[in-house]
Chains A and B, each alone.
Chain A
Amino acid sequence: MQIHNNNKTVSPLGKFTGWFFSEELKYARDHFGYKFNVLNGYIFDQKIIFKDYVNELYNLRLTFDKSNPMNYVAKILMNSLYGRFGLSPVLPESMIISNNELDKLVDLGEISELIDFDDDSLLISF
């Protein structure tokens, strides 16, 4: 089982607490001897929801030869959907501000991007 630790993924030994996917936990319990107590979590229903999407694009790949652009299009679309669901619900905001305005932002640690336009303006994202 893995947890996040200082921006790294680690698999600790001993006792630790974290958030895990239930099925991974059960697998770790049944195959690797992990023991756990459940504290809290979230439950969902479950359903196969991507079959039609993958099948449509996979069949498209089979229909067109590898040299055909549609084969490439289908491949990249098929591989690009899943990650989209991991996207943060909070979109980083970018704006162009003057140097004076930057001084007013207290929580500078939240700024993930800063591009200086070497006159009086700069672009920040947070």
Chain B
Amino acid sequence: MEELPKDQIVLLLFRVKFGDPDDIHAPDSIATIGNLFKVNNSKQDLSRIYDHLKALLSIKDESYISSPLLEVIFSYKLISLDNKIINKVNRINKRLKPKAITYKMKGYNLPNTMDLKLWGALIDKLEDGMLIRKKSSQYTYNIKITDNPLTYNVTLNLADNKEIHLTFTDKINSDFNNLNSFTRYIGSNEYYFVDGELVLKLNPRKISFLEKLNLIKKRKDKKIDPVIDEKFITLDIETQVINGIIKPILICVFDGKNFKNFFITDYCSTHNNDDIGNMVNSVLIYLIQPKYNNYKIYIHNLSNFDGIFLLKYIVKFVYKNKKVVVKPIMKNRKMINIDIIFDQKFKISLRDSYLILLASLKKLAKAFEIEDKGTFDFNKVNNLNKHDLLIFKEELIIYCNKDCKILFFIIKKFNKLIFDKWTLNINNFPTLPSIAFGLFRSKILSENEIPNLTGQIYLDIKESYTGGSLDMIVPQGKDIYYYDVNSLYPSVMANKPMPIGKISAFEGNILVKKS
């Protein structure tokens, strides 16, 4: 750090790796903690890193205490400071400014009572109301009065003119039994007065509603029922560790019928030293066959190691003298979907099957009643050179093919279960919550019921959403009772009302409103 030139800064990203003590087969999970951190070479910044990391770790340590923290991973990048400015990333600004309560409404000073004597001088009594000259102004209130409850429908005109400048309705609040407690409706806004004081303003917000998912497509007025989509392939990667660095040595692909294996020793070239690159290129060339167009390539636990490593080579891949177009969708370091487009017309998409079926292959094989996963002791191949690695080629291929096959039939079975029951295809949903959401939207949701929260409304409401209600401060004890609630979350979901429908923003004490 101290040798860093003054005009350079380092971008740092901290990650932590957790293990699962109950399941040694479970993939390690990696979480990114905090956002990108910028430092220069000053002492001050060095101590900032330390404080920053300490703070981040103390937070995460509490929430992930059940998983042992295996490693802290630093990702960094040096950049020069010249050449600044330009695109600012869009972002919603957080702000909250409670506005001062005012009796000025829509630009007019309006009375805070339904006592008409205080509105101004009486000009004329009408059959169903009154004409009143507004105090110290040229305006006239034209008031139509109805009873039960006492209601004024008011228009505001200029004295010598029929043009209406403002329309509003005042309705008495029967909870208080005085003329100074009422509700004023102007346009879609509502104003609540209690004893002459404006205590609440309601302002309906323009919102959109969550739309139903229609699974039946229409083409030329003909309804097309959904069909099961089994256009997918599974891929698995085996690795060895050489001097602490993980290197891929075998990639297997299975399309339900045929296996294709790519073993590292077959890709040593006299043209370059990049045997891994050559191997991945061969995999890509194999996958871009027209018959695999629009296929999804499922890789279990793509998000951890395999994905980053694959992406690195995919972005470099040249097909017909053109680079492929890669469109990644990532969230919290999870690879949700990676579209790879060749020659502007062929597309394959990489998916992480772990995001759909959140368990290790071994557990899944058991749950889906597929044959048991094989075993291979990878210590045997660590630190082996190419020549010695060849001894294990056949054994590795058998093991890797088995994993590919197991994953393929797990996904096939899962997809069939989901399709037969709800006509949903998992190829359309890259994560488990998105399948759940798809099921809810297609089969359960009513129109115009759940509002989409966006912008400031989302930010405000999210502020009220906290975790950490329960904490285990002392992780040991004697005579401890253990309680488990069967489906706690779902039972609350099923039996408690949720906020729905149109949204109104309010200012003031909402508790004065009885209903």
Chain B residues with Cβ below 8 Å from A119 are 316
B30-38, B169-177, B253-261, B342-350: which lies at the A interface?
Answer: B30-38
Per the 8 Å Cβ criterion, residues 176-210 of B in contact with A are 202, 205
Residue in contact with A9 in the complex, picked from B85, B468, B500, CB distance below 8 Å: B468
Q: Is the CB of A38 within 8 A of B510?
A: yes
Q: Mark A27-51, 1 if CB is under 8 A from B, else 0.
A: 0000000000111111111111111
Q: Is the CB of A105 within 8 A of B87?
A: yes
Q: Known: A49-B500, A118-B312, A123-B311. Contact between A106 and B35, CB under 8 A? A: no
Chain A residues with Cβ below 8 Å from B92 are 90
Q: Is the CB of B465 within 8 A of A18?
A: no
Residue in contact with A43 in the complex, picked from B79, B85, B466, B503, CB distance below 8 Å: B503
Q: Is the CB of B508 within 8 A of A40?
A: yes
Q: B275 at interface (Cβ–Cβ under 8 A)?
A: no
**Complex: A114 Cα to B232 Cα, angstroms:** 29
**Complex: A46 Cα to B417 Cα, angstroms:** 34
Q: Is the CB of B490 within 8 A of A112?
A: no
Chain B residues with Cβ below 8 Å from A91 are 329, 331
Expressed in whole angstroms, the minimum distance between the Cβ of A36 and any Cβ of chain B is 10
Q: Is the CB of B13 within 8 A of A39?
A: no
Chain B residues with Cβ below 8 Å from A44 are 451, 499-503
Residue in contact with B38 in the complex, picked from A52, A79, A108, CB distance below 8 Å: A108
Please give me the residue from chain B that is nearest to A70 by CB atom.
Answer: B417
**Complex: A110 Cα to B87 Cα, angstroms:** 12
**Complex: A35 Cα to B100 Cα, angstroms:** 22
Expressed in whole angstroms, the minimum distance between the Cβ of A81 and any Cβ of chain B is 4
**Complex: A81 Cα to B91 Cα, angstroms:** 27
Residue in contact with A40 in the complex, picked from B85, B98, B432, B466, CB distance below 8 Å: B98
Chain B residues with Cβ below 8 Å from A80 are 432-433, 435-436
Chain A residues with Cβ below 8 Å from B59 are 7-8
Q: Is the CB of A89 within 8 A of B77?
A: no
Chain B residues with Cβ below 8 Å from A99 are 79
**Complex: A100 Cα to B499 Cα, angstroms:** 47
Please give me the residue from chain B that is nearest to A6 by CB atom.
Answer: B55
Q: Is the CB of A84 within 8 A of B368?
A: no
Q: Known: A53-B440, A108-B11. Contact between A46 and B88, CB under 8 A? A: no
Q: Is the CB of A125 within 8 A of B330?
A: yes
Q: Is the CB of A115 within 8 A of B369?
A: no
Q: Is the CB of A19 within 8 A of B461?
A: yes
Q: Is the CB of B312 within 8 A of A106?
A: no
Q: Mark B79-102, 1 if CB is under 8 A from A, else 0.
A: 110111111110110000010000
Chain B residues with Cβ below 8 Å from A46 are 497-500
Per the 8 Å Cβ criterion, residues 338-358 of B in contact with A are 357-358
Q: B164 at interface (Cβ–Cβ under 8 A)?
A: no
Residue in contact with B436 in the complex, picked from A42, A77, A118, CB distance below 8 Å: A77
Chain B residues with Cβ below 8 Å from A41 are 505-506, 510
Q: Mark B154-177, 1 if CB is under 8 A from A, else 0.
A: 000000000000000000000000
Q: Is the CB of A69 within 8 A of B414?
A: yes
Q: Known: A47-B497, A80-B432. Contact between A111 and B36, CB under 8 A? A: yes
**Complex: A52 Cα to B79 Cα, angstroms:** 54
Q: Mark A84-100, 1 if CB is under 8 A from B, else 0.
A: 11111111101110011
Please give me the residue from chain A that is nearest to B83 by CB atom.
Answer: A103
**Complex: A106 Cα to B84 Cα, angstroms:** 6
Expressed in whole angstroms, the minimum distance between the Cβ of A35 and any Cβ of chain B is 13
Residue in contact with B466 in the complex, picked from A2, A50, A105, A112, CB distance below 8 Å: A2
Chain A residues with Cβ below 8 Å from B414 are 69, 73
Q: B511 at interface (Cβ–Cβ under 8 A)?
A: yes
Q: Is the CB of A78 within 8 A of B202?
A: no
Q: B367 at interface (Cβ–Cβ under 8 A)?
A: yes
Residue in contact with B458 in the complex, picked from A2, A6, A48, A88, CB distance below 8 Å: A88
Q: Is the CB of B13 within 8 A of A69?
A: no
**Using a CB–CB distance below 8 Å, which chain A residues touch chain B?**
2-4, 6-9, 18-22, 37-58, 60, 67, 69-70, 72-73, 76-92, 94-96, 99-100, 102-119, 121-123, 125-126
In the complex, besides A46-B497, A113-B13, 18 extra interface pairs with C-beta distance below 8 angstroms are: A2-B466, A2-B468, A22-B510, A43-B506, A46-B498, A54-B493, A69-B368, A77-B436, A81-B493, A86-B462, A91-B329, A96-B315, A96-B328, A99-B79, A105-B89, A111-B11, A111-B36, A122-B77
Q: List 23 A-B contacts (CB under 8 A).
A: A3-B466, A39-B507, A40-B505, A41-B506, A46-B498, A47-B501, A49-B449, A49-B498, A51-B495, A69-B369, A76-B357, A81-B437, A86-B465, A96-B311, A100-B83, A103-B83, A106-B86, A107-B89, A108-B36, A108-B38, A110-B35, A112-B36, A114-B13
Give the top 10 A-B pairs by smallest Cβ distance, nearest first: A44-B499, A9-B468, A45-B501, A19-B463, A54-B494, A46-B497, A19-B464, A81-B436, A50-B493, A80-B436
